[in-house]
Structure 1
């Protein structure tokens, strides 16, 4: 620090962490400095992975994406939930060909029949990205998916095809998996905790499109409905794609008839089949004019 800098009242008096790291790296090796106990705590992976540090890891997993999304000027997102198993139309018949039994063939054919939702997710992502809403200097309705294959891939793909960035919120799983190739690299995040990933899905969400899916999609969809139903989250457009599929999986009418939900709770979501229908719901909710 120069003499002039020392007299500057706004000049920081402590070194930044990266500077301290460089000092530590220059230390002479001794029995003490080589021992794990001597490592700077924030560089000690073994220490950070201890059970007692779980609250710190929660905080880090909340903070890192939040800071990077703010720096990327992302004000809100259009979130896509859906299956990781529904094939893209161009891969549909190959799935049937791989079936080794009649049961597998029937399942493959059902998945192939739902491949049209891949195209609708892709198209919806294109519509949102092309609208390119900017408010208070922040980008709105940026496409966000779970970062994986199938419906998630379709969302990121649609955004990429019109030259727009999109988010991918991946989760570490025991089996090998990686972000789909259409996620914007600087907006591709990996989570250890499902809870923190789910929080980031909804912190910036201004609309959510739910496509046919399994346990994960059900979990995310029903939690979202619960948050809005209980008033913990303000209402947003919730687009439910695939009435035939979802009506077979969940008897929404029965819930109302049994009194376990109010009938007006069935208005928390909108049935959709096409991208245009979904984008119209969003546009009317927010009074958007995208030409």
Structure 2
């Protein structure tokens, strides 16, 4: 784990951890209270570094616009890049636009397309991720970095281990995701048997907004589940 932070005694660290419990509780309570009022939504993930004019920014905006026109709201991480594109598409489509922002020393700041009463701020990644999963009827995962991969694989793991009900996980961009899932198939599944064949069915890889909507609509029609409208 490396050295304990300098100028902080172990007792001080333990004391701070004890008080942090109350802040964690407060973030959960505030999140549950606000998110329980939003209605059915789809979470859109992706890089904060992708700028307007990039094909994936434009595609995320288009996907979000179509999602709200199908009766869903959109949840994003509330920051710039793909998150901004998702909130922008939802805003332009006249639908619910939710931002779950995280306080970071770089990259992250609120984007202007979040509904004013649906902008939540978090200090703790794990509290924020609970909100993404608990209140989403599907995940749309655009190209991103470590944070995007973290959110993606947590959702896959929770569904694989049956800790949450199954919902659509849709990866957008074959050129971006194809190599990763080829490695997962060849190495994790076929060579080492670290996952089961059916685990590969937990995600779909697509390239268009229409494919995203078809998968979400088909999932709820085929399973006879209500997306909590």
TM value normalised by structure 1: 0.67
2:25 to 39, 59, 66: 59
Residue 50 (structure 2) pairs with residue 86 (structure 1)? yes
Query: Structure 1 unaligned runs (5+)?
Result: 1-48, 90-114, 133-140
Aligned to 2:82: 151
Superposed CA RMSD in Å reads 1.7
Residue 68 (structure 2) pairs with residue 68 (structure 1)? no
Runs of 4+ with >6 A deviation: none
The C-alpha deviation readout for 1:208-266, integer Å capped at 9, x for no partner, is 00111110011110111111111111110110111221233451212111211112111
Aligned mates of 1:263, 1:222 — CA distance in 2? 16
Aligned length: 205
Aligned to 2:185: 253
Aligned to 1:39: none
1:124 to 63, 66, 76: 63
Assess if the C-alpha contact under 8 Å between 2:35 and 2:131 holds in 1.
no
Bigger Rg, structure 1 or 2? 1
Aligned mates of 1:131, 1:248 — CA distance in 2? 31
The Cα shift of 1:269 comes to 0.6
SS state at 2:51 partner? coil
The residue correspondences of 1:132-147 to structure 2 (distance < 5 A) are: 132=71, 141-147=72-78
